[in-house]
Amino acid sequence: MKILFACDLDNTLIHSYKHRRAEDICIEIYDGREQSFIAPRALDLIKKIAAQILFVPVTTRSIAQYRRIFWTENFYPRFAVAANGAYLLNGERQENFLREVVAPYEEELKLQHEKFSDNPAFSICRIVDESFLFLRCRDDIEADKIFFDTSLTVKHTGKKIYLFPPALNKGEALKLLIKKFSPDKVFAAGDSEIDLPMLELADVAFTKKNLYKKITCKDSIEFSAAEDFLSIISSNLL
């Protein structure tokens, strides 16, 4: 059976230094500081899983942010989807994936960027890989209280706000992966509402408690740590 495993990265498979445990393995360094980590058991499991099925990280990270992840010396996923579906990475190569859905919204992205780039409520305001707008609120600002008059899809994740062209989402990216690789079964894992379109397409979806009741796919399983869902997938491959 040909299986595709589409997996979000941050707060699903890997985590930041804020949640680091003593035994965790650093897999990303940024500005000279250890930035992201993975649990040893999770790394061991994902390496075994990727040796048997097609494992594709599907992330909202930019291409540059994804390429900062160095995994380990003897393991690096062949494919990855970056910028929420805009690009498919194949080793060092990259190709447009959902880039064509961005074109009708390029002016709106620029307009929103100009509107908020000098707004003191935001510490970051940038267009990511020419595909979507990313904003980060100051710590004293409530992100979900900010109103956007736009045709873009607005998603909040804590202090982070994303403005996406409507069809630039992980569900559409997963549809293209399915078309490209023709799997018999699809696993997906994610932790935020940005992951929902992808999770709902999967045959089996793994998610955290905050999303569990929102998923309507064939089969959904709650997890608290990456080792939880990776153990289940691994046992299903034996």
Token pair 């399915």 is found at 178
What's residue 237's pLDDT? 86
Is the model's pLDDT at 11 over the cut of 70? yes
What's residue 238's pLDDT? 61
Those residues with Cβ within 8 angstroms of residue 132's Cβ, 6 or more apart along the chain or in another chain: 83, 84, 86, 102, 109, 152, 162, 163, 164, 165, 168
Angle between helices 226-237 and 40-50 (to 10 degrees): 30
Is the model's pLDDT at 147 over the cut of 90? no
Tens digits of residue pLDDT in 40-84: 999 999 999 999 999 999 999 999 999 999 998 889 999 999 999
- pLDDT band per the 50, 70, 90 thresholds, residue 143: confident
Is the model's pLDDT at 236 over the cut of 70? yes
Tens digits of residue pLDDT in 109-135: 999 999 999 999 999 999 999 999 999
d(CA 194, CA 184): 25
Domains of the chain: 3-97+169-237 (3.40.50.1000), 103-164 (no CATH)
Name which of 119, 101, 223 is nearest 170 in CA terms: 101
Region 138-154: mean pLDDT is 90
Q: What is the CA 111 to chain-centroid distance, rounded?
A: 25
The dihedral of CA 79, 67, 175, 170: what is its sign?
positive
Give pTM, 2 decimals: 0.95
